[in-house]
Every structure is written in structure tokens, then in C-alpha cells.
């Protein structure tokens, strides 16, 4: 009979500590890390090339990190769809391509720097009823104009109670690739990962009218955990 690993042993404890401290990587990062390691291997006789390849692999592994998150269990809350900095709290009309009513709704914008984890998570649980991509510009994501002018991908999630929350992935100055892994008809749970944006970006969340916004400009958020608002 095979022996079970002794979880109380030094090596086992160290391995468990590493697994808990180092987040896994999103699959989209594998090609970037792989190419970087290939460069390091090809240049193993060249100290500078080897170091550059290893540094690039480490940077990409860090950028595409996919940390585990535990969403709140109380009903009626909307969580942050992204890690980052709240850069705007206002009211605005949702993206026109979604075909929603042209009525201003509470909006919370989160700016993601290149140092933030760039996976996006569902702000609320329910059914994806719309997912629309719109080409656009690549202005700096921290500018207010980025919400209307930049390339974006918008989804609408409808809760079982009929409330609709809009999450908009917005490309930035460096970000040139938006990944959205959900389609209309898909069911998502609050905090589920549904996409990512490569290298610096912005996430806008539109809430139902009357929602109680709980964050302020300048506050940092953790995707899937920070409560942005309570639904009325």
C-alpha cells in the first residue's frame, strides 16, 4: 500500500505554504511564460539573454496570476469585478450597443494597473443575457473618455429576482486584448471568473437604479470579495 504524505513533515508543510501563498496562473498566460522560458533556454550560454527570458517569464506569471477569492454569502450584494482602484463613482447611461433604456444608472469604474491581477469576476450571480464586443480606441484607461471611446466588451447579468447588472471590460493604452469567456444563456455565480484584459485596463459596473453604493473614489478593490453596492 502506498504511503500517504506526512502533512506534518517539514517538506509537506513548506509545499502547502507555497501553494497557499503563490496564486495559480490563468491559462491565457501559459503561452507567454512558455515563450519566455524558451528564450531563456535558447540563450542559456548568454547570461543576459538567459536573465531576460527568466525575468520575462516571472513577470508574465505574476501578471496572469489567478488568486483564489471567497465571495460574500449574504444576498443582494454586488462585488467588484476586478482588482484595482475605484477611479469614478457617478451615474451614466450604459453602453448603447446593449440596447438598454437610455437612463443614467449608478456606475463604478475600477482602474487596473499592470501590477493588479487582471482576471475579471462576475459581480453578481445569475444568467448572462447579453454579451457585446465593440471596437474602439486605446486611450489611457484612467481617463474618463475611455468608458465611451475605447474598445470594450459588455455583459449583462440578470439575477433570479430580475435585477440586471452590467460589467464592461475596457481596453487601455497598453491593453490590446479583451478575453470574455461567457455567452448569452450562460449561468454564473457571484465571483466566478469570466475573462481578463491584457496589460492595464478598466472595468465599469452599472447598477440598477436605487442601489446603495458602498465604495468611494480612491478605494482599492479585490475582485469577487469587495462589496461595491447593495441592491435595493
Active-site residues, by number, are 201
What's the helix, strand, coil split of the chain in %, to 5?
Answer: 20, 35, 45
Contact status, residue 120 vs residue 112, Cβ threshold 8 Å: no
For residue 80, give the C-alpha cell: 467588484
| Phi and psi, residue 197, nearest 5° | -130, 135
Contact status, residue 118 vs residue 81, Cβ threshold 8 Å: no
Task: Please give the radius of gyration of the chain, using alpha carbons only, rounded to the nearest integer.
Answer: 20
Amino acid at each position: 500500500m502506498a504511503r500517504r504524505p506526512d502533512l506534518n513533515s517539514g517538506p509537506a508543510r513548506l509545499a502547502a505554504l507555497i501553494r497557499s501563498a503563490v496564486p495559480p496562473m490563468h491559462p491565457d498566460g501559459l503561452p507567454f511564460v512558455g515563450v519566455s522560458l524558451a528564450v531563456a533556454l535558447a540563450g542559456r550560454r548568454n547570461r543576459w539573454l538567459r536573465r531576460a527570458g527568466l525575468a520575462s517569464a516571472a513577470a508574465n506569471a505574476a501578471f496572469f496570476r489567478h488568486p483564489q477569492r471567497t465571495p460574500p454569502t449574504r444576498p443582494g450584494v454586488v462585488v467588484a469585478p476586478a482588482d484595482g482602484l475605484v477611479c469614478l463613482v457617478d451615474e451614466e447611461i450604459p453602453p448603447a450597443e446593449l440596447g438598454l433604456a437610455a437612463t443614467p444608472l449608478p456606475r463604478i469604474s475600477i482602474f487596473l494597473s499592470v501590477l493588479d491581477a487582471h482576471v475579471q469576476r462576475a459581480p453578481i450571480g445569475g444568467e448572462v443575457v447579453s454579451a457585446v464586443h465593440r471596437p474602439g480606441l486605446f486611450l489611457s484607461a484612467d481617463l474618463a473618455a475611455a468608458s465611451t471611446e475605447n474598445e470594450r466588451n459588455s455583459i449583462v447579468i440578470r439575477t433570479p429576482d430580475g435585477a440586471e447588472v452590467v460589467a464592461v471590460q475596457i481596453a487601455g493604452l497598453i491593453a490590446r486584448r479583451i478575453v470574455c469567456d461567457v455567452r448569452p444563456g450562460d449561468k454564473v455565480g457571484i465571483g466566478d471568473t469570466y475573462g481578463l484584459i491584457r496589460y492595464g485596463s478598466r472595468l465599469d459596473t452599472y447598477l440598477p437604479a436605487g442601489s446603495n453604493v458602498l465604495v468611494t473614489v480612491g478605494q482599492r478593490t479585490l475582485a469577487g470579495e469587495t462589496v461595491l453596492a447593495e441592491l435595493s
